[in-house]
Amino acid sequence: MLQDVLDHFQIEELNEGSWIGSDSVQSSTSLIEVYSPVDGSQMASIKPTDKKAYQTIVEELKKASEVWRNIPAPKRGEIVRLFGEKLRKEKNHLGKLISYEMGKSIQEAYGEVQEMIDICDFAVGLSRQLYGLTMHSERPMHRMYEQWHPLGVIGIISAFNFPTAVWSWNSTIAWVCGNVCIWKGSEKTPLTALVCQKLIASILQERGLPQAISCLITGGKEVGEWLSLDKDIALVSATGSSRMGKAVKLNVAQRFGKSLLELGGNNAMIITPNADLGIAIPATYFGAIGTSGQRCTSTRRLIVHQSVLDSVIDKLKSAYAQVKIGNPLDANNHMGPLIDNEAVQNYMAGIEACKKQGGTFIVEGGMLQVPGFEKGSYVSPSIALVNADMAIVQDELFAPLLYIIAYNELKEAIEIQNNVPQGLSSTIMTTNMREAEYFLSHCGSDCGIANVNIGTSGAEIGGAFGGEKETGGGRESGSDAWKNYMRRQTVTINYSADLPLSQGIQFKV
Ligand code: UN1
């Protein structure tokens, strides 16, 4: 499968990890081995970016920035429009590559490419709408307004679970705002990153634009550190664990740079006595086992009213009995593998910890051998009944283990929901307007995303995406998240022949 996809994308330099547009940059000779979680076969050996290559790339970025920011925003939007067109054509092949390299189901992989197409469309429209406000001055014959300028070079650190969509949320918007981008993709999914880099680079080349408008680097923690410590990187947008995000934020802050963080989630769904279980059960099913529980928006905690607890458990048990696990490229399967064996071990340790703390397993999953795919990192999902005060519920276990917690009063359910360090996504399942509105009020969910009668995952690109507390506080994607990629300038113009001072101050010579 892989070979025809790689042939299709004409990827020959499988081991190059450092790119300025379509030009590779010589880098270290050490190699990162990449294996598919689907069948354990080796996909590539990639050279991580070394310091010298990094510096070469940053110099080119600075030069490209001079050209790109002088191109009118709607013309920059045209480049993003062409990228969206390209993605439409490549959806099938790119989806397959994402599925094979990352392990998510083919349906979800196509969804990821669609998310990229959607954000391109959004960014194109935005390229004609980078609006600033005008204000009325307190002084006569004065005009005040604000305008937005590009930041310069944007660093993007993305995670394996959405190997391309989260990059595109950042890059497409950053580009229309007049910035150039350097992307450190996940070292677990370098081929998908390389293909996306090639796609945008081909457009830049066709249009005779500087290749460094889009650059790609590869590597681990150290490479991320270069970005966060580098004063030439105006904004570092990082997606990943809260631990990683904290390190990035501290490094960026000590040089007064800007950071945009999209970190861990520990998302809950509240099921009230007034919930329509015909919606709540499939929403839980997708939220908990979609992407094998490896979305930052995955449903991790189900907070269920006592009166419907038995019925929810019965229905979930029968839904989980039907889960199809196996080759994610087979569209009949709901669940592919976890990203690697380390993730499998982590999941097994999570199950053990849950048992130790007194959790009762309703569905007990574990390691799974899929016939014909024995070397893949497959697991089956779990559901455990737990108490809100157990330590395990405070952590984001990046795997398909769903905790169920019972409650009696809605206020208590919301307290349970909010009483974790993370604050990304949340949802309430109810047909009762009072319950829904209370959940959405300032006394309700403390998360960046609050839903009614849909799951915790699967946000649309049109809204601002991100969360509070240890999720990092950033907002990416839609709404006015573009403002993160620009600097605001307040302008006051005096067109009178006098110099009146603000606040009525008299200061005559
Ligand atoms: C992530 O898991 O990092 O809302 C992003 C969702 C997707 C994006 C998830 N649109 O589930």
pLDDT digits (tens, 9 = 90+) for 239-286: 999 999 999 999 999 999 999 999 999 999 999 999 999 999 999 999
Q: Is residue 354 flagged as an active site residue?
A: no
Write out the two tokens for 396: 């984001």
Residue 504 inside a domain? The answer is no
Label residue 4 by pLDDT band (50, 70, 90).
confident
248 & 397 share domain: no
Work out the percent of the chain whose per-residue pLDDT is above 70: 99
| Whole-number Å distance between alpha carbons of 173 and 179 | 9
Work out the percent of the chain whose per-residue pLDDT is above 90: 95
DSSP type of residue 247: H
Residue nearest to ligand 1 atom 3, measured at CA: 296
Residue 496 inside a domain? The answer is no
Label residue 1 by pLDDT band (50, 70, 90).
low
What is the β-pairing status of strands 422-423 and 401-407?
Answer: unpaired
Q: Which residues contact 214 (CB under 8 A, 6 or more apart)?
A: 21, 171, 175, 180, 181, 183, 197, 200, 201, 204
Beta-bridged to residue 238, according to DSSP, are: 157, 261
Contact (CB, 8 A) for 478 and 462 = yes
Residues 114-131 have pLDDT tens digits of: 999 999 999 999 999 999
Label residue 10 by pLDDT band (50, 70, 90).
confident
> Is the predicted pLDDT of residue 14 greater than 90, yes or no?
no
Place of tokens 């595109």: 168
Q: How far is the CA of 61 from the centre of ligand 1 (A)?
A: 29
Label residue 9 by pLDDT band (50, 70, 90).
confident
331 & 251 share domain: no
Q: By residue range, what is the domain housing residue 92? A: 3-263+472-489
Contact (CB, 8 A) for 226 and 257 = no
> Is the predicted pLDDT of residue 51 greater than 60, yes or no?
yes
User: Comparing C-alpha atoms, which of 430, 431, 405 is closest to residue 418?
Assistant: 405
**Range in 38-47, 168-177, 360-369 the model is least confident about:** 38-47
Write out the two tokens for 416: 């349970």
Q: Could you tell me the CA-to-CA distances from 374 to 92, 180, 370 in Å, in that order?
A: 26, 43, 6
Residue 509 inside a domain? The answer is no
Q: Which amino acid is at 497?
A: A
| Whole-number Å distance between alpha carbons of 217 and 239 | 16
Q: Is residue 206 flagged as an active site residue?
A: no
139 & 247 share domain: yes
216 & 77 share domain: yes
Q: Which amino acid is at 379?
A: V
281 & 358 share domain: yes
Q: Which amino acid is at 344?
A: V
User: Comparing C-alpha atoms, which of 140, 219, 209 is closest to residue 180?
Assistant: 209
First to last CA, the chain: 81
- Compute CA 265 distance to the chain's CA centroid, rounded to the nearest angstrom: 11
| Whole-number Å distance between alpha carbons of 303 and 308 | 11
84 & 153 share domain: yes
> Is the predicted pLDDT of residue 13 greater than 80, yes or no?
no
> Is the predicted pLDDT of residue 424 greater than 80, yes or no?
yes
pTM of the model: 0.97
User: Comparing C-alpha atoms, which of 4, 186, 103 is closest to residue 376?
Assistant: 103
Note the pLDDT of residue 7.
85
39 & 145 share domain: yes
Residues 330-376 have pLDDT tens digits of: 999 999 999 999 999 999 999 999 999 999 999 999 999 999 999 99
51: left (phi over 0), alpha (psi -120 to 50) or beta: alpha
- Which CATH number characterizes residue 250's domain? 3.40.605.10
> Is the predicted pLDDT of residue 460 greater than 70, yes or no?
yes
User: Comparing C-alpha atoms, which of 373, 381, 368 is closest to residue 35?
Assistant: 373
Report, as an integer, the average pLDDT of 393-420: 98
Q: How far is the CA of 296 from the centre of ligand 1 (A)?
A: 6
64 & 185 share domain: yes
Report, as an integer, the average pLDDT of 447-458: 98
Residue 505 inside a domain? The answer is no
Apex CA 500: angle with CA 494 and CA 502, to 5°?
95
Contact (CB, 8 A) for 346 and 377 = no
Q: Which residues contact 224 (CB under 8 A, 6 or more apart)?
A: 157, 184, 238, 244, 248
Q: Could you tell me the CA-to-CA distances from 85 to 89, 167, 195, 213 in Å, in that order?
A: 7, 17, 15, 18
- Which CATH number characterizes residue 344's domain? 3.40.309.10
Looking at 177, 215, 296, 354, which residue is catalytic? 296
Residue 381 inside a domain? The answer is yes
Report, as an integer, the average pLDDT of 171-178: 98
Q: What is the mean pLDDT of the chain?
A: 97
Identify which of 114, 465, 476, 477 to mutate to test ligand 1's pocket (most ligand atoms within 8 A of the CB). Answer: 465
302 & 283 share domain: yes
Label residue 28 by pLDDT band (50, 70, 90).
confident
Write out the two tokens for 289: 């086992």
Residue 92 inside a domain? The answer is yes
Residue 507 inside a domain? The answer is no
130 & 161 share domain: yes
Report, as an integer, the average pLDDT of 379-389: 98
| Whole-number Å distance between alpha carbons of 326 and 38 | 8
Residues 75-118 have pLDDT tens digits of: 999 999 999 999 999 999 999 999 999 999 999 999 999 999 99
The residues lining ligand 1, judged by C-beta closer than 6 Å to any ligand atom, are 115, 161-162, 166, 239, 295-297, 457-459
The three-state secondary structure class of 402 is strand
Q: How far is the CA of 493 from the centre of ligand 1 (A)?
A: 44
Residue 500 inside a domain? The answer is no
Note the pLDDT of residue 79.
98
Q: How many domains does the chain have?
A: 2
222 & 291 share domain: no
Q: Which amino acid is at 322?
A: Q
Residues 136-162 have pLDDT tens digits of: 999 999 999 999 999 999 999 999 999
- Compute CA 264 distance to the chain's CA centroid, rounded to the nearest angstrom: 10
Q: How far is the CA of 1 from the centre of ligand 1 (A)?
A: 26
Q: Which residues contact 326 (CB under 8 A, 6 or more apart)?
A: 333, 335, 336, 370, 373, 378
Helices (H), 156-276: 165-176, 190-206, 221-229, 242-253
Helices (H), 381-468: 410-418, 433-440
Note the pLDDT of residue 59.
98
Residues 200-225 have pLDDT tens digits of: 999 999 999 999 999 999 999 999 99
Length of the chain, in residues: 509
Looking at 101, 262, 396, 435, which residue is catalytic? 262
The three-state secondary structure class of 91 is helix
180 & 248 share domain: yes
Label residue 308 by pLDDT band (50, 70, 90).
very high
